[in-house]
Amino acid sequence: MAYREVFDADFGGEEKGETMNNMEEETDDTVVDDTFDRAMDFEQVIASDNWRPPGEYYQFMPTQTRTIVSSVVASDERLRKELRETWLPEMERQGTIQCWKKAHPKLIAELQHKMLYTGRVYAADGTLAKYTTLSLVGAQIAISKVSYRGGTGQIVSNMMHWGQEIPRQVTATAISQAIRSRKRMHKNGPSNLFLYALMTYKEREVLLDTPPDAFKLIQGPIFPHEMLTGAGRGRVMTTCLDIIGKLIDDGAYATIISNSTDTDLLDLGLALDAGEYIVVDTGTDVLMNFLYEDGDDSKSLKAHYTNRPIPEYGNRGQIDIFKDFMGKYGSRVVRGVLRAHRMSRPYIFFCNKDRLDEAVHMLLADAANTGPRGFPLLVDLADQYCSGSFKASEYTTRLNAEFARASGGSVMYQSERSSRD
C-alpha cells in the first residue's frame, strides 16, 4: 500500500496538491485557502454582524488567538504522541515508510570537522528579479555558491549574473484583432516557468562545477517542477533532465525544502525527535505522481506531455523520454523528513538512496549551526549572499529611472505600486 493511502485512511486526511517549485518567498496560499474553504461558510462570514470596527475587534482578538493557539499546540502534542507510539512503528512494519532512524552525533561532528569546515561542502542558491511594462519585459538572475573555510565565521563565495530586457513588439493590428476576437494575445516575454527553470538549472550546474570530493547542498526538490516541464518548452526538456541526471550520477548531494505544501509529510514529521529522520518514498513515486493524476494507481495523464515525435529528440515523444528518465533515476533517489532540533520544524529532503546516511548527517551537521531554526546554515548563507548582493529593488529602480529619463519624466511605464515611492 502506498504511503498516501495509509496516511489518508488512518488519519482522515484529504489529498493535497503536490508542488515542486523553488520559489523561496512564495507563501503556502493553497493550504490556507483549502483550510478556510472546508471550515467556513462563505455566506455566513460575509454577514454584517460578523464584521466589527477595528477597536472592537482588537478588544477580543488577542485573547481569542491565545486560546486557539494554546489548543492547537496541545492537540499537536497529542497527535505527536499517537504518531510516535502507534502509527510510525506500524507504518515502518508495513513498509509504508522505508525507515525511521536516529542520527549519530559522532558522525555529525566528524562531517563538520572533515568536510564542512575544510571547504569541501558547497551550497548554491539563486535570485530572480523581473520587470514588466506595457512595452517591455526584463529579467535578471543571480547565482551564488558558498563554502566554509575553517568554520562558520569565514566563507568563500562567488556569484554569476545574467540579465536581459526584451521589447514586447506588440503591433496595433494584433491589439485590434485580440480585442475583436476576445482571445488572449500571444505572450511576448519569458514565462515564470522559463525563468525559474533557468535559475534552478544554473544552481545545479555551478554545484557540479566543484572538486570531485565536494558535497553539495541545494534548497528545493531534486526534481523541480519547472525543470521537469522543460521550462514550458518542449525542446528544453532533455537539457533539464540531463543536468538532474548528472547530479544523481554524482551522488554527493542533499536537497532540503524550506517551504513545502506537502502537509501530509510535514504533519508526519511532527512525530520526530531532534536528530531523527524517516524515509517515506522514492524518486519513482514522486515522478509517478507528477506524471499521473493518482500516481501509480491511475493512467490518467497529469503532466502536459505528448507522445508526438519530436525531431530534436530523435523522433521520440516527451512521455517516452520522461519514462526513460524515471526508469533510470527514480529508484536511486529517496524522499524523507528530518528534524534537526527539538524546537525546529521538520523539513523534507531528497538524496541518493545509497548515500542516505551521509546526506542526512551532512544536513544535520550544518543545521546544527543555526540552533533552534534547524536549517542548514550554508544554504542560508548562499541565499543571503545572493539576495543581498543582487536586490530586485535595485533592478526595478534602475529600469524605472531609465524609462523616466527616456519619456520625459513619465510614470506610465512604472507599476502603480512603484509610482507611489
Give the DSSP letter string of 147-161. EESSSTT-EEEEEEE
Query: What type of residue is 190?
Result: P
> In percent, how much of the chain has pLDDT > 90?
57
CA distance 213 to 109: 18
330, 287 Cβ separation under 8 angstroms: yes
CA distance 378 to 384: 10
In sequence order, what DSSP letters do the residues of 186-248 get, joined into one string?
PP-S--HHHHHHHHHHHHHHHHHSS-TT-EEEEES-SS-HHHHTGGG-GGGHHHHHHHHHHHH
**pLDDT of 420 above 90:** no
Query: What type of residue is 301?
Result: L
* Alpha-carbon dihedral 96, 331, 282, 102, rounded to 10 degrees: 80
How many C-beta atoms surround the C-beta of residue 331 within 10 A? Answer: 13
Q: Is 199 exposed, middle or buried (0-12, 13-18, 19+ CB in 10 A)?
A: buried
Domains and CATH numbers, the chain: 28-71 (no CATH), 102-389 (3.30.2170)
253, 247 Cβ separation under 8 angstroms: yes
Q: What is the pLDDT of residues 384-408, one digit of tens each?
A: 998 888 888 888 888 889 888 888 8
Q: What is the pLDDT of residue 214?
A: 97
Q: Collapsing DSSP states into helix, strand and coil, what is residue 25? A: coil
H-helix or E-strand containing 94? helix 88-94
Q: What is the pLDDT of residue 378?
A: 97
Q: What is the pLDDT of residue 127?
A: 93
For the record, the C-alpha cell of 173 comes out as: 493590428
**pLDDT of 174 above 60:** yes
H-helix or E-strand containing 314? none
Residue 222 or residue 28, greater confidence: 222
Of 11-20, 171-180, 353-362, the poorest mean pLDDT is in 11-20
Q: What is the pLDDT of residue 394?
A: 86
Q: Is 62 exposed, middle or buried (0-12, 13-18, 19+ CB in 10 A)?
A: exposed
For the record, the C-alpha cell of 286 comes out as: 514522486
Q: Is 257 exposed, middle or buried (0-12, 13-18, 19+ CB in 10 A)?
A: buried
Q: Is 182 left (phi over 0), alpha (psi -120 to 50) or beta?
A: left
CA distance 264 to 249: 29
H-helix or E-strand containing 339? strand 333-339
**pLDDT of 337 above 50:** yes
H-helix or E-strand containing 266? helix 263-269
Q: What is the pLDDT of residues 146-167, one digit of tens each?
A: 999 988 888 898 999 999 988 8
**pLDDT of 82 above 70:** yes
CA distance 19 to 272: 23
Q: What is the pLDDT of residue 307?
A: 83
Q: What is the pLDDT of residue 298?
A: 63
For the record, the C-alpha cell of 136 comes out as: 517591455
User: Within 13 Å of residue 59, how many CA atoms lie on the same side as its CB?
Assistant: 5
367, 374 Cβ separation under 8 angstroms: yes
Q: What is the mean pLDDT of residues 264-275?
A: 94
Q: Collapsing DSSP states into helix, strand and coil, what is residue 363? A: helix
For the record, the C-alpha cell of 236 comes out as: 528544453
Q: What is the pLDDT of residue 12?
A: 33
Q: What is the mean pLDDT of residues 221-249?
A: 88
Q: What is the pLDDT of residues 285-310, one digit of tens each?
A: 999 999 988 766 566 888 888 888 88
CA distance 420 to 116: 46
Q: What is the pLDDT of residues 181-214, one digit of tens each?
A: 765 555 544 567 889 999 999 999 999 999 989 9
